[in-house]
A and B are shown apart, each in its own frame.
Chain A
Amino acid sequence: MDDLKDVILEYVIAEYADEDDKVTFDTPLISGGLVDSFSMVSLKRFLEMKYKISIPDEDATPEAFDSVNKIADLVTRFVSKAS
């Protein structure tokens, strides 16, 4: 789980954060304006590709994507389902 969180955090920082943004596992991503609803599509695509899962649109809500911790929970749920 920690490894998964680190991977997601690293990706979020590399792809979406600006120079001065300080992103932690709990930083609000969507409600904080770091990742908008359009960019969320690319983040979802990354997660699906990386973890070989499919996240249905009804589960890919702004709330479920609002922090690295929440995303990790979501991914873990679908990885467990897939295995």
Chain B
Amino acid sequence: MSNIGSYDERVMSFDWSISEKELGYKAGDVINIGWYCSDRICEMGKGDKPALLWENSLGETKRYTYNDIRVCSNGISAFLRGLGLKEGDRVCLFMDRVPELYIGLLGILKIGAIAQPLFSAFGDESLFVRLENAGTSAIITQRKHASKVRKILDQLPNLKHIIVVDHDPGKELKEKEVAFSMDAQRQDKLDIYPTRAESPSLLHYTSGTTGMPKGVQHVHYSLISQYLTAKWVLDLTENDIYWCTADPGWVTGTSYGIISPWALGVTQVVLDSGFSAENWYRFIEKYRVTVWYSAPTAIRSLMKAGDEVVKKFGLSCLRHLVSVGEPLNAEAVVWSEKVFGLPFLDSYWQTETGSIMITNYPGMKVKPGSMGKPFPGIVGTIVDPDTYEPITEAGKIGLIAFRPGWPAMMRTYWKNEETYKNKFKNGWYLPGDRSRIDQEGYFWFVGRDDDIINTAGHLVSPFEVESALLEHPAVAESAVVSKPDEINMEVVKAFVTLKPGYSISEELELEIMNFIRKKLSPLAMPQEVEYVDTLPKTRSGKIMRRLLHAREWGEEIGDTSTLEND
């Protein structure tokens, strides 16, 4: 029997107080995610239970019990306080998937500061805009990434401390750098800051279609949603070994890669390594993973590696598979059922929603290719794009819409209240995706409602890439759209015009690709650069990405009446 039991019965009788009661929380109480994920589990008598089993690409392993993550996070909190950091300060986590990243998040939250996790593959420009926007006071990083911080340090007056978790004593620390060893600086006692339900907890950055990245602000009360969705959708139980493959630089990696499994007292495993089908299967076999939360891009990459490699490993330990990040194609669901004996169940949510919104559930009929149904307590529908009224006709396409009010909903965009307010229409929160609902109430993803590119489950802003392209000395104008990709669903494609004196060449294309990779991130790197003489523009001079997108996807180009050179 799964944790959720009957979906329909849960929907009928749902109240978020179910989660509050299980967590022993009452309105007005202190609620601190850091405490819930470590101290509370120890107080329940599970201090010796493994919380984190970690392995890296060199085969090195580490093991942390719940008591370990309690005293290690206390040590981080005490160290941060010693530097003068306090509640409300933004502290960035900029690391590979090392234990300090996972446990560091709890340490930041325990002093009431706001954790700002950023993907460690970000280049210095991506890092700069996010640290500047957040007014970040401190960054916790590894020495391999410290050089990116040094490059931009002069432009970040608010950044007072660069905390290096793996400092080599043989090397000199640079300006504002300070060494910290998590394993050596454990602390048993700590006065945890008494955060309340609406106290800010995390600031995750997500891409905007027309502006720079937006800081999505969450609060400690988000735990209520994250705990229950993990329990009912991921079906986590006492004896599970859980693997979330998402990087905590993105919201899945924090909501379901740190907060919810630890709030549930589950043992989780982390592989700090690049992708390889063989290595992933070996990891599952070695740690006897039972619940696996991954992404369509990874699943399609596993499919590409073939069925034979699966047979080399004993994977019968797996009992529940869930996917997130982008629509999971029906073929991938059918394939996983064939090779693992279990279908990957698709789940849908986003950085702003903080927790799973629409999903397939253990025990409920799976329709391969469908997103599933709204989580109990979530009022979800599709609305007309002009009137924002709910569409009742089955099969008709509209905008996905949710009634605001679930615990993990973002509270604002950092210093950008106007954009936040624009996400609501006619009393609905609009995540920016289109869908249809069939006669049985299942949602079917159709596509984004804007220009944002979803590549391997990560959102990339065309505006941000276009702006960075213009910083290359050869580029006069640029337009960025998505193009189809078998594995990543979409990848970035750039159209550029060149400045006088530069000529088209393969070398220049590669140079431009690498320029963006280092400046922004590998995700944002155009996989193709096409040279054009002119870009399609409106008569007012705005680049019409829509036409380029339609060409890449083989779609009708639609209305071109405003085209400048029509």
- Known contacts A45-B510, A46-B510; decide if A36 and B121 are in contact (CB<8 Å): yes
Contact B273 A31 (CB under 8 A): yes
Near A by CB (< 8 A), chain B positions 497-553 give 506-507, 509-510, 513-514, 517, 522-523, 525, 527
- Chain A: interface residue count, which band? 20 to 34
Residue of B nearest to A21 (CB): B144
What's the nearest-Cβ distance from chain B to residue A36, in Å? Answer: 5
State which of A15, A21, A31, A45 has its C-beta within 8 Å of the C-beta of B274.
A31
Contact A49 B145 (CB under 8 A): no
- Known contacts A33-B57, A49-B507; decide if A19 and B525 are in contact (CB<8 Å): no
State which of A29, A31, A32, A39 has its C-beta within 8 Å of the C-beta of B525.
A39
Chain B residues within 8 Å of A35, by CB: 274
Taken together as a complex, chains A and B put the C-alpha atoms of A33 and B274 apart, in Å, by 4
A7 in the interface, Cβ–Cβ < 8 Å? no
Residue of B nearest to A41 (CB): B527
Contact A42 B275 (CB under 8 A): no
Contact A38 B143 (CB under 8 A): no
Contact A41 B144 (CB under 8 A): no
Contact B525 A18 (CB under 8 A): no
Chain B residues within 8 Å of A15, by CB: 514
Near B by CB (< 8 A), chain A positions 1-60 give 15, 18-21, 28-39, 41-42, 45-46, 49
Chain B residues within 8 Å of A29, by CB: 274
What's the nearest-Cβ distance from chain A to residue B449, in Å? Answer: 25
Residue of A nearest to B274 (CB): A33
Chain B residues within 8 Å of A34, by CB: 274
Contact A66 B510 (CB under 8 A): no
State which of A19, A33, A46, A63 has its C-beta within 8 Å of the C-beta of B273.
A33
Chain B at the A interface: mostly helix, strand, loop or mixed?
A: helix
Taken together as a complex, chains A and B put the C-alpha atoms of A63 and B301 apart, in Å, by 12
What's the nearest-Cβ distance from chain A to residue B249, in Å? Answer: 13
Taken together as a complex, chains A and B put the C-alpha atoms of A79 and B517 apart, in Å, by 28
State which of B145, B275, B279, B527 has its C-beta within 8 Å of the C-beta of A18.
B145
State which of B121, B305, B525 has its C-beta within 8 Å of the C-beta of A41.
B525
Chain A residues within 8 Å of B210, by CB: none
Contact A37 B301 (CB under 8 A): yes
What's the nearest-Cβ distance from chain B to residue A71, in Å? Answer: 15
State which of A37, A45, A66 has its C-beta within 8 Å of the C-beta of B513.
A45
B346 in the interface, Cβ–Cβ < 8 Å? no
Near A by CB (< 8 A), chain B positions 50-83 give 57-58
Query: Which of B58, B488, B514: most chain A CB closer than 10 A?
Result: B514
Residue of B nearest to A49 (CB): B506
Residue of B nearest to A34 (CB): B274
Contact A63 B517 (CB under 8 A): no
Contact B275 A30 (CB under 8 A): yes
B240 in the interface, Cβ–Cβ < 8 Å? no
B276 in the interface, Cβ–Cβ < 8 Å? yes
Chain A residues within 8 Å of B57, by CB: 28, 31-33
Chain B residues within 8 Å of A39, by CB: 517, 522, 525
What's the nearest-Cβ distance from chain A to residue B298, in Å? Answer: 10
State which of B273, B510, B522 has its C-beta within 8 Å of the C-beta of A38.
B522
What's the nearest-Cβ distance from chain A to residue B482, in Å? Answer: 14
Contact A20 B143 (CB under 8 A): yes
Pairs across A and B, CB under 8 Å, 9 listed: A15-B514, A33-B273, A39-B517, A41-B525, A46-B510, A61-B305, A62-B275, A62-B276, A63-B278
Known: A29-B274, A37-B456, A41-B525. 7 other contacts (CB 8 A): A18-B145, A28-B57, A31-B273, A36-B121, A39-B517, A42-B510, A42-B514
Closest 8 CB pairs of A and B: A38-B522, A33-B274, A31-B276, A18-B144, A32-B57, A39-B522, A20-B144, A30-B274
